[in-house]
Structure 1
Amino acid sequence: MLVSRFFRVYTQWRWPNPVMMCPIEMGELGFSVWDPRKNPKDRSHRMPIITPAYHCMNSSYKVSLGTLQVMTEQFQCGNRICEVRAYFEIELGKAEWSALFEHYPFFEAYENYLQVDIVAADADDLLTWKGWVESRFRQLTLKIEQDTNGLLQCHPYPNKYIDPSKPCPNSAFFWGLSRKEVGTSKECQQFDFQGTVKNFRRGIDNYRVRREGRDIYFSYVCRRHLPSFVFPDGYKWHRPSRHFNEQSGKPCEDVKMCQSCSSERQLKRKKEHEIKEVRPDKSVKQAFISSEVPQPVSPGMTTEDPTNNSEVMSSGGHLVSEKGESE
């Protein structure tokens, strides 16, 4: 009952209305309190969840437009799962909740990704360097969405990976990139956030101690060229599809599971891709983040022929080719 109500409430919640357990207390100690009427920064918060103790602050200030969209979709997915489980419990006398704990197929949910590689001379140095860079990831996500007028949404993945092909200690992070559809327009659009990456790198370089061997690399990767180390056992896995009887509004008994949000998104993308193949529009230029790009390119690059561009940009501001030669 409690879990079902949780998903039902947050599915219907109208953000950015704040979630509060009690009224906000101003207090007499002079500390800053979350108040969008007085603080301009508080007005930009997408998903305010206010702490109940003085001084009241927004515990979810890091939420961006893209991450809010992801959580909203997952709330809806959880609500559908709970509704299906309620049907099984009432009609059949049994219910299964394992669908709520299924792994989210992040590397199958998007067509395009931003990869950030952090390297250092040794493991101890990487720990310090990575901690500093990670603390700035929120700014990178917000700036990318801001500089693209909210049309390019970012979903940062919290897990980090190790690239075994690199000789030095490293950590790799990924952002899922999705283009927001405006109305019914299918027009492709290029996104150039090279300036955003440069500004982020400039802020990273303000770190007090910049030792030799510390560096950071940005690269664009389409889904079919994701590195094997991000998948279990080094190979790409495909999530089995789920079925749902839309006419009766009840799940198929042979599957006994609610269709997941990821399956819906994959089906939608598949249909859109088939439509584009049947009716190609030659007048539309290829988007910067297009699944047709066969090789990784720097996220700041905007070229007419991205297939010939396999460079990444280091924190020193130089383009580094696949051979490792600096240009």
Structure 2
Amino acid sequence: MPNDHSSSPVLPTSSSSSSSLSPPEVQLTSSGSSSSPTKSTGGESGNTGDDLKVYLPKPIDDKHDEEWEVKRGTELDDFLGNGVEGDDGVEASSASRENLGLNNLHNNLHLRPPPPPPPPPPPSKSLHPTIIPFGSYALKVHSPSSDIDVLCLASPPPLTPVMSRSQFFSRLKQYFETRMNDDFIISDVTVLINAFTPVMKFKINCIDIDLVYAQIKEENLEEYKNEYLGKETLRGLDAESLRSVNGVLVTNEILSIVGKERGEVFRLALRGIKRWAKGVGIYGNGMGFLGGVNFAIMVAWVCGRFPNAGPARLFQKFFQIYSTWSFPSPILLSPLLLSPPPGWTPQQIWNPTLNPRDAYHLLPIITPCYPSMNSSYNVGKGQLRRIMMEVERGREVVDGVMKGRGGWEEVFRESTFFNRFTNYLEVRCVALTPSDFRRWQRWVESKIRILIAGLEMAAEQGVEVHPFAKFFDVVGKEMEVCGTSFFIGLRSLRTNGDIVDLSFCTNEFLYAVSNWEGRVQGMEIFVQGVSGGMGGSGGGAVGQQKVKGGGGKGKGRARNSRKRNGTRRGNGGGGGGGGNSDENKGNSTTTTTTKGKATTDGFSEAIGSPTKKTRMR
């Protein structure tokens, strides 16, 4: 990561060297004059978005078709497998539309009550809602463990009665309860009606589905009958509906920008980037890292910058570009649209000149259609630090592979994160039953960003935080509970060995988690310090426990043991770098951490309750 993020190298022209690819800092103009984003007072804007064109991927004509590049591309394709991106490089055939039952949902979800007499004339379009996949599934880069995002687009009145989003989710839940059978199993239904984009989460045949809902307005009936999901169809939608539809629009726009002729090259590079990101622990939008749409936009930008690059060189250019990118300069695929299409309800867009909060975004990745939004607004300092660290490590390894020093397994090998630091902070959540655990783990995961932001306050005490975006199952022998752990590497910038108290950094997180209205007996949360450098990969030493990979979805067991030689296991890939690294040097601070909300004595004893103060080597 560059030591000085304030530097602003200019985006090179086609004749410039490709080694300097970072655009200047973002500047938006209002009424034709330049203005600092941090000093804007708001008001009406005369922006046309021309200022941001410098961030668009200006193509470089640098065609290379050397035999070695073609060979590396073939090797990358073979390594990743010929199907959609999988956790182990195999095709995710289980995530087909038919196996998910989405066609069944489309054909059988009748939301219309019996029509009053006289019945309306037969419409030219089906009365059933349209199910439209988007995101990684629609891009064909999903994995067996990926969530699948779908939009349920209801037909306009009079084909379907006006129905609120809460009414729709309620009726859909009732439908699931009456239509389940051995071939169509629905579980873990959760409705987040108050989310920024309201969503219904559930599993179909053990595959996670995130479903959003929107209904076309009556005045757009004719456009809807023509089966055209475009600007005319979406006129008059409210803000929540536009956000719900936005995922489909973004996916379509990305595919349009990339183009059919570059589609396979784009997909192969994106599959590789996603697999690498998951392995090194920087994949997870909900935890403040980057998710599928973020990486899709980033890879599409590189694809537009190098229109003649094959998949291997495109993969390499991803690391070369973003390891030197001058963040918070934005990543843009298309000019910023500051005004809505005709008939659309005006929405707030990403604009650091008019919106002071936007000026504080650390890693802006802007969606390519109206309303333009920062798809990575929740990236924090700790997450950005880890992302840049791994991108820089990845660049070194990929450059070596492209020069013939090793194969692609060097890029995707198991992470060495748990050998890099002397001290780690472990967040462990446990519950007594699998169903309670799934709900509890999902809640804790949604609040991890609060913890990471709180720990950033420790920077004043000389502690640097490095979170790992993955949960690991807790396993043992004695008492069966469901448990999972999340780990944060702690790097000391001190050399005097003073005690650092991190308890004040965790208070807000523990309060937010512990006071959840859905919490029941047995749902517990612990925050404790653990020592690193104990070998293994893909997991973290819990001192007394053994930890394995798996995302926290399985059933685990924690045990009360006095042994202090715990191990960690995991299956995360993605590397770069091995053994002990510079993060261990000088990391001699003794750190005090805190335990989560007190449990009953019996339960605390059973899981080996952490002490109030844990000295970390």
Q: How high is the TM-score relative to the length of structure 1? A: 0.68
Could you say which residue in structure 2 is the equivalent of 1:281?
A: none
Could you say which residue in structure 2 is the equivalent of 1:299?
A: 593
In the TM superposition, residue 145 of structure 1 has moved relative to its aligned partner by 0.6
Paired residues for 1:300-315 under 5 Å: 300=594, 312-315=595-598
Q: 1:60-110 deviations in whole A, cap 9, x for unaligned? A: 223222322222222222222333234339xxxxx7322111111221121
In the TM superposition, residue 14 of structure 1 has moved relative to its aligned partner by 0.9
Q: Which amino acid aligns with 1:168?
A: V
Q: Distance in 1 between matches of 2:426 and 2:378?
A: 20
Could you say which residue in structure 1 is the equivalent of 2:521?
A: 212
Q: Please say if 1:53 is aligned against 2:361.
A: no
Q: Please say if 1:15 is aligned against 2:327.
A: yes
Quickly say closer, same or farther: Cα 1:53–1:112, change in 2 above 3 A.
same
Could you say which residue in structure 1 is the equivalent of 2:590?
A: 288
Q: Distance in 2 between matches of 1:197 and 1:40?
A: 27
Q: 1:240-276 deviations in whole A, cap 9, x for unaligned? A: xxxxxxxxxxxxxxxxxxx94345xx25467x46xx9
Q: Please say if 1:112 is aligned against 2:429.
A: no
Q: Please say if 1:146 is aligned against 2:476.
A: no
Quickly say closer, same or farther: Cα 1:325–1:108, change in 2 above 3 A.
closer
Quickly say closer, same or farther: Cα 1:47–1:191, change in 2 above 3 A.
farther
Quickly say closer, same or farther: Cα 1:38–1:151, change in 2 above 3 A.
farther
In the TM superposition, residue 132 of structure 1 has moved relative to its aligned partner by 1.0
- Is this contact kept in 2: 1:116–1:173, CA < 8 A? yes
- Is this contact kept in 1: 2:386–2:467, CA < 8 A? yes
Q: Distance in 1 between matches of 2:608 and 2:385?
A: 39
Could you say which residue in structure 1 is the equivalent of 2:472?
A: 160
In the TM superposition, residue 147 of structure 1 has moved relative to its aligned partner by 4.8
Q: 1:132-188 deviations in whole A, cap 9, x for unaligned? A: 111000111111113544842231341321232543222222222223x4xxx7444
SS of residue paired to 1:162: strand
Quickly say closer, same or farther: Cα 1:121–1:159, change in 2 above 3 A.
closer
Pick aligned residue for 2:484 from 160, 171, 179: 171
Q: Please say if 1:229 is aligned against 2:546.
A: yes
In the TM superposition, residue 222 of structure 1 has moved relative to its aligned partner by 1.0
SS of residue paired to 1:159: strand
Q: Please say if 1:130 is aligned against 2:130.
A: no
Q: How high is the TM-score relative to the length of structure 2? A: 0.38
Q: Which has the higher contact order (CA 8 A, sep 6+)?
A: 1
Q: Distance in 2 between matches of 1:325 and 1:161?
A: 17
In the TM superposition, residue 124 of structure 1 has moved relative to its aligned partner by 0.6
- Is this contact kept in 2: 1:163–1:172, CA < 8 A? no
In the TM superposition, residue 130 of structure 1 has moved relative to its aligned partner by 1.4
SS of residue paired to 1:161: strand
Pick aligned residue for 2:510 from 187, 201, 212: 201
Quickly say closer, same or farther: Cα 1:53–1:123, change in 2 above 3 A.
same
Q: 1:110-131 deviations in whole A, cap 9, x for unaligned? A: 1111111212231111111111
- Is this contact kept in 2: 1:119–1:216, CA < 8 A? yes
Higher Cα radius of gyration? 2
In the TM superposition, residue 325 of structure 1 has moved relative to its aligned partner by 11
Q: Which amino acid aligns with 1:219?
A: Q
- Is this contact kept in 1: 2:455–2:502, CA < 8 A? yes
Quickly say closer, same or farther: Cα 1:235–1:170, change in 2 above 3 A.
closer
Could you say which residue in structure 1 is the equivalent of 2:151?
A: none
Q: Which amino acid aligns with 2:546?
A: F
Q: 1:202-260 deviations in whole A, cap 9, x for unaligned? A: 1123322331222111111011464462368x8568xxxxxxxxxxxxxxxxxxxxx94
- Is this contact kept in 2: 1:74–1:261, CA < 8 A? no
User: RMSD value over aligned CA atoms?
Assistant: 3.4
Quickly say closer, same or farther: Cα 1:190–1:54, change in 2 above 3 A.
farther
Q: Please say if 1:121 is aligned against 2:121.
A: no
In the TM superposition, residue 54 of structure 1 has moved relative to its aligned partner by 1.7
Pick aligned residue for 2:401 from 81, 85, 88: 85
Q: Which amino acid aligns with 1:125?
A: D
Q: Give the unaligned 5+ runs of structure 2.
A: 1-312, 535-540, 550-565, 570-574, 613-617
Q: Distance in 2 between matches of 1:168 and 1:226?
A: 16
Aligned pairs, number: 262
Quickly say closer, same or farther: Cα 1:213–1:37, change in 2 above 3 A.
same
